[in-house]
Every structure is written in structure tokens, then in C-alpha cells.
């Protein structure tokens, strides 16, 4: 059995059902991927834990209950007295694209890896076989906590663990692009598999085309799959893997997170990158047909691995 730790933040999600009615949910990029990984894998093959910090409020308790029901391990979740999760609202346009509005400056996850509890969590990370994080994970951490995480991931890499990274660059989470580049660059030295979206890479690093992104990551010896929307994705050998069928999206929330879960599941099972990319497209194609980040369990496609 392999063990995977997804590191990041889950927030309270309020999604517009109409102009005045909101629907409550819980989501966050790394949590979305963790949940889809848990659904795609038997726990005796891949055990998925979520590493984060929550409060001691009813919403945090509901999150923990929901994660356990999905088979996600919560032993590495710190519960901080008096703190609350972050919150965001989604407005979705007629084309399925969405806008996010965040209220998270005092969220519990911003204190992740602080204090004795944080040190214990960091010490446990090199014991996992796979560690998954995104640039959003990095953006919520204070610089000292970021440095402590970098050291823990370096120890994990030294022990032969796989570090998986999705840049998922959101400018609103950083003081400016230069600050994001400076924070993210050291982590790239530890990444074994990268699953970025081209739009994010273009905004963050100025790449002109997906193959520029491929070349930059592959030049570091990183396995790379660049998601490029309707174009499909691009692999480290330059291969373009198209989307098998064009589907008009209802809501694109978490499509990339779901793609990452299916791609990683397939690769860990020994599938070739092109086949893993097709698995990613397949799950993402289902996710975009439903509102919100998490689709009903009954709608999950049967895993190919």
C-alpha cells in the first residue's frame, strides 16, 4: 500500500444557485484532488491523507466528517481553537467559466506548520510515498512556514518520495508575480511530477506556448503534463493528447484538480503518460457537467486501473 499526503487548504464554498440563493459546500484545489484520488483508489492500494489546519467550529467539524466519509485520512489535520476555515463564493457564467470571491485572510490554514503541532506534521511528511501540493498551498503560508515545508519535502525527496506539483497560480494570492516566482522556484527543484495548466504558466512565467512549458519542466528532469483546455494536454516527449470528446461545460470548477487525480492514479498503477492523460480527460469531462467542485459519487466513471 502506498500513502499519499495532499497538503493545502479547504474552504467553505458558497455557490450561486440563482441570483439570491446560495448552496453550501466544502472545496479547495488540493482537497478536490485528494477526494478524487480517494474515490479512484482502493485504500489498500493508495491511502490518502489531507494535511491542513481547521478551526474548532461547526463548519470545520462538518468538513472532517465529510472527508472521513470519502475515505480521506484526517490524522494530519490540526484543529486550532478560535480559528475558522476560509470562505469563497462562486459565480458561474453561461459558458461554464467561473469567478471566485475569497474571504480567507484569517483562515486557520494560514497557521499550518506553526507551533509544536506543525513541527509534528512536518516530521511525518517524509514517511509518505507521494506528496501533493500546489502554488495555492504555498501562497497561504508565511515565509518561515514555507521554508519549513521546503525542508520537509527535501527530506522526502532524499528518501526517494515523489513530490507532485500543480502551479495553479492565482495572482490574488500573491503580492505580485515576482514574489510568486521567488517563492515557487525553490520547490521546483524537488518536484518529480508536474501537472500545471498552461494559462497559469503563461501568467506566472511568461511561456508563449504549452510546449515552452513542457521544455522548461522537462529540462529539470521533471515528468510533465501540461493541461491546455480544449487543446487537451502536452506531455514531456512533446506529444499532444487531445480531449477525446468535446463537451459543453456546465461548470469548469475543479476540472484540473480531477484531471490530476486521475492522471496520478493511472501513473502510480503503471500506465503510460498518454494513457494517464486520457484517464485525466475522462474524469475532467464528467466533472464539468456538474455544478461545483465535487460531483455525486454515483457519477464517477469506473477507474481503468
Query: Which residues are marked as active site?
Result: 257
Q: Is residue 24 within 8 Å of 68, Cβ to Cβ?
A: no
Beta-bridge partners for 227: 197, 233
Instruction: Quote the cell numbers at residue 177.
Output: 508575480
Alpha-carbon distance of 3 to 156, in angstroms, equals: 13
Burial class from Cβ neighbours inside 10 Å (0-12, 13-18, 19+) for residue 238 reads: exposed
Instruction: Quote the cell numbers at residue 269.
Output: 498503477
Q: Is residue 39 within 8 Å of 84, Cβ to Cβ?
A: no
Alpha-carbon distance of 152 to 149, in angstroms, equals: 5
Alpha-carbon distance of 16 to 23, in angstroms, equals: 6
Sign of CA pseudo-dihedral 198, 202, 207, 208: positive
Alpha carbon separation from 138 to 109, 248, 266 (Å, rounded): 11, 32, 26
Locus of grid cell 479547504: 10
The arrangement of strands across the sheet holding 98-103 comes to: 22-27, 11-16, 87-92, 98-103
Amino acid at each position: 500500500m502506498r500513502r499519499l499526503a495532499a497538503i493545502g487548504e479547504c474552504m467553505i464554498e458558497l455557490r450561486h444557485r440563482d441570483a439570491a440563493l446560495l448552496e453550501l459546500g466544502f472545496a479547495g484545489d488540493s482537497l478536490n484532488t485528494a477526494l478524487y484520488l480517494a474515490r479512484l483508489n482502493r485504500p489498500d492500494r493508495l491511502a490518502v491523507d489531507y494535511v491542513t489546519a481547521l478551526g474548532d467550529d461547526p463548519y470545520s467539524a462538518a468538513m472532517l466528517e465529510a472527508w472521513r466519509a470519502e475515505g480521506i485520512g484526517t490524522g494530519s489535520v490540526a484543529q486550532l481553537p478560535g480559528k475558522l476555515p476560509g470562505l469563497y463564493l462562486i459565480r458561474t457564467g453561461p459558458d461554464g467559466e467561473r469567478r471566485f470571491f475569497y474571504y480567507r485572510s484569517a483562515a486557520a490554514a494560514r497557521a499550518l506548520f506553526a507551533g509544536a503541532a506543525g513541527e509534528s506534521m512536518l516530521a511525518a511528511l517524509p514517511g509518505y510515498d507521494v506528496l501533493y501540493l500546489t502554488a495555492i498551498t504555498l501562497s497561504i503560508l508565511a515565509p518561515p512556514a514555507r521554508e519549513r515545508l521546503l525542508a520537509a519535502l527535501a527530506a522526502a525527496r532524499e528518501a526517494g518520495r515523489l513530490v507532485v506539483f500543480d502551479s495553479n497560480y492565482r495572482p490574488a494570492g500573491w503580492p505580485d508575480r515576482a514574489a510568486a516566482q521567488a517563492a515557487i522556484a525553490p520547490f521546483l527543484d524537488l518536484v518529480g511530477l508536474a501537472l500545471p495548466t498552461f494559462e497559469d504558466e503563461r501568467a506566472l512565467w511568461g511561456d508563449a506556448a504549452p510546449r515552452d512549458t513542457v521544455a522548461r519542466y522537462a529540462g529539470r528532469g521533471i515528468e510533465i503534463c501540461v493541461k491546455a483546455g480544449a487543446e487537451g494536454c502536452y506531455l514531456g516527449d512533446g506529444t499532444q493528447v487531445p480531449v477525446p470528446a468535446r463537451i459543453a461545460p456546465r461548470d469548469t470548477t475543479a476540472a484540473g484538480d480531477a484531471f490530476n487525480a486521475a492522471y496520478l492514479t493511472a501513473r502510480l498503477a503503471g500506465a503510460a503518460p498518454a494513457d494517464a492523460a486520457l484517464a485525466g480527460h475522462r474524469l475532467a469531462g464528467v466533472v464539468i457537467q456538474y455544478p461545483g467542485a465535487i460531483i455525486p459519487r454515483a457519477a464517477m466513471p469506473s477507474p481503468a486501473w
